[in-house]
Amino acid sequence: MNASPLADSLLVRAARRQPVPRPPVWFMRQAGRSLPEYRAVREGTTMFEACRDPELTTEITLQPVRRHGVDAAIFFSDIVVPLAAVGVDVDLVAGVGPVVAEPFRTRADLDRLPALTAEHVPYVVEAVRQTVAELGDTPLIGFAGAPFTLASYLVEGGPSKSHERTKAMMYGDPQLWHDLCDRLAQIAGTYMTVQAQAGASAVQLFDSWVGALPRRVYESCVQEHSRRALGMVAEATDVPRIHFGVGTGELLHLMGEAGADVVGVDYRVSLLDAVDRLGPSYAVQGNLDPALLFAPWEVLEREVRRIVDEGRQAPGHVFNLGHGVLPATDPSVLTRVVELVHSLGQ
Ligand SMILES: Cc1c2[nH]c(c1CCC(=O)O)Cc1[nH]c(c(CCC(=O)O)c1C)Cc1[nH]c(c(CCC(=O)O)c1C)Cc1[nH]c(c(C)c1CCC(=O)O)C2
Atom of ligand 1 nearest to the CA of 31: 21
**Active-site residue flag, 107:** no
Distance CA 14, CA 263 (A): 12
Distance CA 181, CA 175 (A): 10
CA nearest ligand 1 atom 45, residue? 95
Q: For residue 4, what pLDDT is reported?
A: 77
CA nearest ligand 1 atom 44, residue? 97
Q: For residue 2, what pLDDT is reported?
A: 58
Output the CA angle 188-189-195, nearest 5 degrees: 90
Distance CA 300, CA 288 (A): 9
CA-nearest of 12, 4, 2 to 242 is 12
Q: For residue 1, what pLDDT is reported?
A: 58
φ, ψ of residue 7 to 5 degrees: the values are -65, -20
CA nearest ligand 1 atom 17, residue? 76
Residue 190 neighbours by CB distance under 10 Å: 23
C-beta 94 within 6 A of ligand 1: yes
Q: What distance in angstroms lies between residue 224's CA and the mean position of ligand 1's atoms?
A: 25
**Active-site residue flag, 33:** yes
Cβ(74)–Cβ(31) below 8 Å: yes
Residue 117 neighbours by CB distance under 10 Å: 12
C-beta 90 within 6 A of ligand 1: no
β-strand 241-244 against 97-100: which pairing, if any?
A: unpaired
The strand ranges marked E within 119-221 are 140-145, 202-206
Q: For residue 169, what pLDDT is reported?
A: 98
Q: What distance in angstroms lies between residue 158's CA and the mean position of ligand 1's atoms?
A: 13
pLDDT digits (tens, 9 = 90+) for 193-236: 999 999 999 999 999 999 999 999 999 999 999 999 999 999 99
Residue 116 identity:
L
- Give Cα 82 distance to the centre of its chain: 14
What percent of the chain shows pLDDT beyond 90? 97
Cβ(178)–Cβ(105) below 8 Å: no
User: What is the SS3 assignment for 123?
Assistant: helix
pLDDT digits (tens, 9 = 90+) for 46-86: 999 999 999 999 999 999 999 999 999 999 999 999 999 99
- Residues 36-54 as b/e (b if ≥16 CB within 10 A, e otherwise) read eebeeebeeeebbebbbbb
pLDDT (mean) for 121-149: 98
CA nearest ligand 1 atom 43, residue? 97
Q: For residue 346, what pLDDT is reported?
A: 65
Residue 297 neighbours by CB distance under 10 Å: 12
Q: For residue 3, what pLDDT is reported?
A: 67
Q: For residue 207, what pLDDT is reported?
A: 98
pLDDT digits (tens, 9 = 90+) for 163-201: 999 999 999 999 999 999 999 999 999 999 999 999 999
pLDDT digits (tens, 9 = 90+) for 248-297: 999 999 999 999 999 999 999 999 999 999 999 999 999 999 999 999 99
Cβ(202)–Cβ(141) below 8 Å: yes
The three-state DSSP-derived secondary structure of 209-277 is: CHHHCCHHHHHHHCHHHHHHHHHHHHHHECCCEEEECCCCCCCHHHHHHCCCCEEECCCCCCHHHHHHH
SS3 content of the chain, % helix, strand, coil (to 5): 50, 10, 35
**Active-site residue flag, 123:** no
Q: Is this prediction's ipTM beyond 0.90?
A: yes
Asked whether residue 122 carries a pLDDT value surpassing 90, the answer given is yes
**Active-site residue flag, 42:** yes
C-beta 41 within 6 A of ligand 1: no
β-strand 241-244 against 262-264: which pairing, if any?
A: parallel
Mean pLDDT of the chain: 97
Q: What distance in angstroms lies between residue 79's CA and the mean position of ligand 1's atoms?
A: 8
Q: For residue 18, what pLDDT is reported?
A: 97
Q: At what angle do helices 147-156 and 174-197 cross, to 10 degrees?
A: 120
